[in-house]
Each structure stands twice: as structure tokens, then as C-alpha cells.
Amino acid sequence: MDFSNTKIIQQCIDDISAKGGGTVTIPAGEFVTGNIELKNGVTLHLQKDAKLLGSIFRKDYNSYPKPTLIYAKNQQNIAITGVGTIDGRGRELIKDIFKSIENGALKANADWRITRPEEGSRTNLILLENCENIAIKGVTLKDATNWITHYEKCKNLNIDSVRIEGVAYWNNDGIDITDCKNVKITNSFINSADDAICLKSSTRGDFCDDIIVDNCTLRSSANAFKMGTASVGGFKNIKVSNIKVYDTFRSAIALEAVDGGIIENIEVNNVVATNTGNAIFIRLGHRNKDDVYSTVKNIHISNVDVTIPKGKPDKGYEMEAPLLMYPPSFVAESGKLQSVSPWNYKEKLPNVKLYEHNVFPSSITGLPDHRVENVVIENVKITYFTVADKAINYFPLDSFNQITEAEKDYPEFSMFGEVPAWGFYVRHVDGITLKNITLKMKGKDFRSAGLFNDVKQLKLVAIKTKGSIKKPALFFNDVVYAP
């Protein structure tokens, strides 16, 4: 390719940074580039109709920690602004990645044809590490072969009025925030093949801290807003508000601590989700191999309205979420009831069987000796248009104690497999208030609306079930009610 654009843009960035900072302007037009690095004090500004196009050849991307179109490390006072577009051209680039693997120019995992090439083979659009005072404003960001944007161990990050279209390939997370402090994500639109906004934590003792997400519209073939799966350090002081979600396969809100980290002091308010597979998923697990257990406490979720459809919420999108499978090691035993955590992976793998299921409920779950603490959920309405059928899958209510703990499994709202409830599943929780909750069944289900097992200090206020409701509407076992 012609490297003139890459060299010119990088030279401008280097020169302006050396002079103390300023703006590099991309004018109207299309400019193809390989990877570039932002430097101290530099704003990359895209004018109207400006298009910065990523190279479609994998060799044009340096490795860094991960191959990336726009990269920065240990820089301050940097920005990407304007009303133009940065397009990673992931559909074209992935073809060259495949070719590079086939001819030996690029290494990849052995099963890359069936699953996908590992992250080190694919490219991010933007990756900023250990940077401070960052602004990403107004631009449209499109189509990497990996995450669209990733910010790791950054401070004072402001993402505002950004449009992200990341549906070119699997693993197109929209915004990933890892162990960052003082972050605002506002007034943005994200359409992604993987999680739309995802907070992560990769370092024990480090945290995502003081994060605000407000007035955003999210669409995902995974989760809309998520904390985890990576949860080594944890998440604290997070506020999420005024979120619209649509056509999203998994959860509108997913809060997951499974690697020894913490989730603490979380506020979620005013979420409207239509055509979405699940409303709320809160999970404390133990996926890490050491003896440090996660903690999940002090969560307040309010004013949530979610509609669960009859069919697959992301059906028809270019990158649909994969169907659930039985784990490859699973062997059915005739006449024996078996609770299993479905395998959340690609259905094209050999020797795996489709895991058919009815709708999964919202869930709040810990472990027997490590419990979720102090949760308040209020003013929530979840409407189900689903139709359940015992012929699809059936787990009887009187066998609730046999539901898998799935302690070490990948956290997902489907992780407990078929359960005998369609609205809420709550287990191993200390201190939970459900107030003004409406579970409405517009379809048909043979299961109870809610199942509460091993719950202490439970407070229920104004709980309503509507529609064709199987009795008992709510089932309780080993529950201690709050005074």
C-alpha cells in the first residue's frame, strides 16, 4: 500500500506534540492509514465528511500489546474530535487476516477456522493505555476485527456524543473500560456485535472507579451494559442512568464478579429495553484459581422497563449471538435429572449438541459461603411475550436444589440452564429488597414467576404478577424475611 498518509499523519502528530501540543486536522475526503500513535497534547480532529480508513492489510498494524489502528501509551491531554469517521474496515481486513494465517505470516489458535482467530491476530480500532485527560467527542467509529475502543488504566476520560457501529466481526465490543478512574460516557449511540459498554478489571487491587454512563442508546448481540467478565480487581462507585436498549440478545444490565474482584456501590436508574433477552443479571462466582473470592454488595437498580420477546432478539443482524450448546463433556444419563450450565460458544464446533431452552429469568446469585449483599431493586417492569413448552426443556420446581451452582463457569444469564422460573431467580443473597416489581406474562409459561432459595433479609413490597401465572406465582425455600 501507499504509506504516505500514515507517515504524514504521524509526522504531524510528532511535530505538534514536540512543540507543546495542538490539533492535527483530517479534512473532508478519504485517507487510508496504517497504525498511528497519539502523543502528548495532540487533538486529532476530523472535519465533516472526513474518513480515516484503516488499512485492509494486517501487516500494516504494529503489535503493541494488541494490534491497533490508533494507539497511545503514557500520554496526557489527548483527544479525538470532530464529526468525521474512523473506519477500521473490518470486513475487508479479516479476509487478509485469514490469508495471513493460512500462509504462515500470522500465528493463530489451532481452532481459528471454527471459532475465530485469537485477539492477538485481530485489530482494535482505538487502544489507549495509562493515559490521562482524554476526550473522545463527536466522531463515528466503525468496524474493527476486535474491540472498537479500549481504554486501560486511564484517568479523566470523557466520551461524549460518539457513534459506534461495530458489527463487522465477532468480538466487536463498543467501549471497553479497564481499571480506569473518573470516566464519563454520555450522549452516545453504540451498535455492537459484542458487549456495547463493558467495564473490565485485570489487576488485583486496581478498580474501575468513579464511572458515569448517561443518556446512551445501546444495541448488542451480547450485553448492553456489563461489568466483567474480567473482574480481578473490580468496580466501585459506578452510576448508570437514562439508557435505552434495543434488539439485544443477552442482558440489558449485567454485573459480574467472578475473578476475585469486587462490585460495590453501584447505581443504575432509568433503563428502557425493548426486544431484549434479559433484564438484570447479577453474579458472584469463583472462576479464578486462587482462594480469593469476589464480593458483590451495595447495588441499587431502579426504574427499569424491559420487554422480552418470543424469538431471538438479535435475529437478522449480520453477527447474531451463537446458540447455546451442551458442554462437549456432557453425557446424558437416561432417567436422571441433570442440571447443566450451557456452553456459550459457537454452534459449529464438532461433537456438541444444541441446548434448547425456555426463556431464562433475571437472576441475582452468589455462592453458598460467599453471598451477594445489600441489593435494592425497585420500580421494575418486565414484560414477557415468550411461550414456554415442557417439550423444549423441563426442570421441575421440586428439584430446585439440584440446579447447578456453576461456580467456575463463564458468567451469563443462561449459566444455570433451564430453571423452574421465568421472572426472577434469587439464590445465596443476604439483604435484598424488591419493591414495586411487575412481572407480566403476555405469552404462556408453565413455571412460577419467581424462585427464591437461600435468601436472608428478604423484603418484598408491591410485587405484582400479571397474565397467565402458574401457581405458586412465587416459590420460597430457606428464606428469612427482613423485619
pLDDT tens for 86-140 read 999 999 999 999 999 999 889 888 878 777 888 889 999 999 999 999 999 999 9
Distance CA 236, CA 227 (A): 10
Q: What is the amino acid identity at position 223? A: N
Looking at residue 401, the DSSP 8-state letter turns out to be G
Looking at the chain, the whole-number percentage of residues with pLDDT higher than 90 is 88
- In 3-state terms, what secondary structure has residue 359? coil
Pairing verdict, β 295-308 and 372-384:
parallel
pTM, two decimal places = 0.96
Q: For 206, list phi and psi in degrees, rounded to 5.
A: -110, 160
Q: Determine the longest span between alpha carbons in the chain, in angstroms.
A: 76
For position 118, what pLDDT does the model report? 86
Total domains present in the chain: 1
Q: What is the pLDDT of residues 34-72, one digit of tens each?
A: 999 999 999 999 999 999 999 999 999 988 888 999 999
CATH at 290? 2.160.20.10
Rg (CA), the chain: 23
Query: What is the extent of the structural domain holding 433?
Result: 4-481
Confidence of residue 2 (pLDDT cuts 50, 70, 90): very low
Distance CA 206, CA 152 (A): 11
pLDDT at 349 over 80: no
CA 266 to chain CA mean position, Å: 16
For position 470, what pLDDT does the model report? 86
Confidence of residue 346 (pLDDT cuts 50, 70, 90): low
The answer to whether the bond into 342 is cis (omega within 30° of 0) is no
- Give residues with Cβ within 8 angstroms of 329, minimum separation 6: none
Distance CA 467, CA 351 (A): 40
Distance CA 257, CA 86 (A): 33
Distance CA 188, CA 273 (A): 16
pLDDT at 271 over 60: yes
Distance CA 248, CA 266 (A): 22
Over residues 19-26, the mean pLDDT reads 98
